[in-house]
Amino acid sequence: MELAQLVIEAMKFIFPAYCANAIPVIAGGGSPLDLGKNFVDGRPIFGRNKTFRGFFFGLTVGTVIGLAESALFGYHLLFGLLLSLGALLGDLAGAFLKRRLDLAPGDMLPVVDQVDFVVGALLFSLPISLVSVSYGVILTVLILTPPVHLLTNFGAYKLGLKNNPW
């Protein structure tokens, strides 16, 4: 597969996860997923920025995008749901790790901030993606995600949707 086609396939494949990860920035707010509770170390479990509304909007939008892609490209019907759920849970794992490292919500943790959601998405979609997606596509997703993530976050910052450019 030529490089341009590989990039297109990778972006098409991971798009529901990208959407699920981005929507909480726009549609989030409200009650935090951890209900304001602290972990055994006395620090918040996830922090105030991980909310029920953001999680469910992200899951819904990513799943709907995945259903549309399933119809257009012949992906498995559960593809969007698994990618979106994995992306959101991967992001929560990153937030959990950041709280353990005593980083405040919004503080940067290089590499983790850029790939936690995509690693979660890939892990959750493994049963489906191993059958229908090449290793080249998966590797391309992992290579492209950090710069795409940084670029989209900078755009969201410039639009006033985020408090920081990362």
Number of C-beta neighbours around residue 130 at 10 A: 11
51 and 26 in contact (C-beta within 8 Å)? no
Res 164: pLDDT: 87
pLDDT for res 85 = 98
- Predicted local confidence at residue 130, as pLDDT: 74
Following DSSP, what letter does each residue of 64-114 receive, concatenated? HHHHHHHHHH---TTHHHHHHHHHHHHHHHHHHHHHHTTPPTT---TTHHH
Q: Where are the domains of the chain?
A: 3-158
Low-confidence ranges of the chain (pLDDT < 50): none
- The pLDDT of residue 106 is 86
Which residues fall within 8 angstroms of residue 102, CB to CB, at 6 or more apart? 43
Could you give the C-alpha distances from 51 to 56, 98, 100, in angstroms and in order? 9, 16, 19
Judge contact between 17 and 85, C-beta under 8 A: no
Question: DSSP secondary-structure letter at 32?
Answer: B
Contact of 109 with 67, CB cutoff 8 Å: no
pLDDT of residue 132: 78
Beta bridge partners of 32: 51
Q: What is the pLDDT of residue 158?
A: 95
d(Cα 163, Cα 129) in Å, to the nearest integer? 35
pTM attached to this predicted model: 0.94
